[in-house]
């Protein structure tokens, strides 16, 4: 398991959008703060591939390729420790 202790904002955005696209592609549930169009625009920013409406599964697959390239296929966990 890979633990992220000092996350890069771009990596965090990639992981968050990937999770939201996963839910949209598999269940049809929408994210509470982003529309499908916004999620696909963010995915386009990370992959460089333009997506049309409803191409959530394709965007998810492309983001998974990037995630595997960054983390080597290991599950990702954020470090939940706090100084408080």
pLDDT by residue (tens digit) across 34-56?
899 999 999 999 999 999 998 99
Model-level pTM? Answer: 0.76
Residues 6+ apart with CB under 8 A from 64: 18
Q: Is 81 exposed, middle or buried (0-12, 13-18, 19+ CB in 10 A)?
A: exposed
Smallest CA-to-CA distance from 42 within 8, 19, 72 is with 19
For residue 4, give Cα distances in angstroms to 12, 26, 44, 49.
9, 26, 24, 27
3-state class (DSSP) for residue 78: strand
What average pLDDT does this structure show over 25-32? 85
Q: What is the pLDDT of residues 54-82, one digit of tens each?
A: 899 999 999 988 888 887 767 666 555 44
């Amino acid at each position: 398991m890979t633990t992220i202790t000092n996350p890069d904002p771009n990596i965090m955005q990639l992981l968050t959008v990937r999770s939201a696209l996963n839910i949209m592609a598999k269940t049809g549930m929408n994210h509470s703060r982003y529309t499908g169009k916004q999620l696909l625009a963010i995915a386009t920013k990370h992959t460089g591939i333009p997506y049309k409406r409803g191409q959530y599964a394709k965007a998810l697959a492309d983001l998974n390729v990037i995630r595997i390239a960054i983390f080597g296929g290991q599950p990702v966990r954020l470090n939940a420790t706090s100084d408080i």
